[in-house]
Amino acid sequence: MPDLDGKGFGTRAVHGAGGPDPATGAVVPPISLATTFRQEAVGKHLGYEYARSGNPTRAALEAHLATLEGAAHGFAFASGLAAEDTLVRGLLSPGDHVVLPGDAYGGTFRLFDQVEKRWGVEHSPAELSDADAVAAAIRPGQTKLVWVETPTNPLLGIADIEALANLAHDAGALLVVDNTFASPYLQRPLTLGADVVVHSTTKYAGGHSDVVGGALVVRDLELAEKLAYHQNAMGAVAGPFDSWLVLRGLKTLAIRMDRHCDNAETVVEFLGSHPAVTQVYYPGLPEHPGHDVAARQMKRFGGMVSFRVAGGEPQALGVCERAEVFTLGESLGGVESLIEHPGRMTHASVAGTPLEVPGDLVRLSVGIETVEDLITDLDRALGG
């Protein structure tokens, strides 16, 4: 394997998975299916004993994710939510409190609201773009995590990672950043002061809508030891084939993200001048309230775009149903463009809560297709 020190992101993305297999020279890591590993003598082995505790394909993915996030320790899980649950129950105890984003991903909110709360972990939402609101939501001595999504899902809000890290640390809390929307190509929260990065690798990391996975990445050794213990003790690990698929996806992350960003910028320009569109949410727009912060902490502004339509919820649903190149479906971050109605789909679980999203909102995950085809499709779906 080439020395990756000082190499660019694209080089590390391609070569960071450990290099050719030392046994055969195969240029991609093998999918290691063994559940148990021979011990030469009791406790004497090559680093693997039992595949929940450690698996070579998963280990390659974990090392790769850590490299791309600029950290030392990565952990791969069966899903993003499994990673989140391991983080919360691994680090927190009953009575502890978490500050959540005011428009957190619905599944994350549901995890805290319907599951972790029953185990005594409390939470409250705060508008993360407003440092005073976050400071007011922190309960000194009780708040153990400040949870950040930036950009947020689905309203593409931006939080200042460095400022929130300082705020969290002053209160003795850790800053967790869900980096799913940006991916490590566009944003590396640990280098801005965050303590933990969370990923749904189902999205841009995997990149092909064919694997569900999650990850945690940390710099701190003590934190890493706690997470390693709970990853094994709780057992929600990524399987070998799933790990391999995410590894494969990561190799093309840089070029995929650049194309997602190129296409999203063209789509945003089109939507901005369409008479049926009342508002476009994209941090790349100079008028977006978080634009300056996003420009500082992100390389580019990503492939996710949301917009509202003049005809209210019926028109939003109609646009979703009329689109053809954009597939109507949940999830995001794959090579194919997706369209969805957050209020009825991804964010249905927050209906009736403070996190409810507007009914006239449509969310796009802009894929890597020929951009003219995406524009024609949206134009037709919006009614010409």
Ligand X SMILES: Cc1ncc(COP(=O)(O)O)c(C=O)c1O
In the complex, which residues of this chain contact ligand X (CB under 6 A)?
A: 79-81, 105, 107-108, 149, 153, 178, 180-181, 200, 202, 212, 214
Residue 380 Cβ vs ligand X, minimum distance, rounded to whole Å: 27
Please give the residue whose beta carbon sits closest to ligand X in the complex.
80
Give 266-269's long-range contacts (Cβ < 8 A, gap of 24+). Answer: 266/371, 266/374, 266/375, 267/305, 267/364, 267/366, 267/371, 267/374, 267/375, 267/378, 268/305
Told to judge if 251 belongs to the known catalytic residues of this protein, a careful annotator would answer no
Residue 315 Cβ vs ligand X, minimum distance, rounded to whole Å: 25
Q: Which is nearer to ligand X, 139 or 344 (CB)?
A: 344
Told to judge if 50 belongs to the known catalytic residues of this protein, a careful annotator would answer no
Residue 224: φ, ψ to 5°: -60, -40
Among 105, 185, 204, 282, the active-site one is 105
Q: HEC profile for 279-311?
A: EEECCCCCCCCCHHHHHHHCCCCCCEEEEEECC
Among 113, 178, 242, 377, the active-site one is 178
Using CA atoms, how far residue 35 sits from 91, 240, 306, in Å, is: 28, 10, 44
Q: Which is nearer to ligand X, 171 or 366 (CB)?
A: 366
Among 7, 21, 48, 52, the active-site one is 52
Q: Which is nearer to ligand X, 76 or 325 (CB)?
A: 76
Residue 318 Cβ vs ligand X, minimum distance, rounded to whole Å: 24
Q: Which is nearer to ligand X, 55 or 108 (CB)?
A: 108
Told to judge if 178 belongs to the known catalytic residues of this protein, a careful annotator would answer yes
Distance CA 196, CA 202 (A): 18
Told to judge if 3 belongs to the known catalytic residues of this protein, a careful annotator would answer no
CB atoms within 10 A of CB 305: 25
What amino acid positions are annotated as catalytic residues?
52, 105, 178, 203
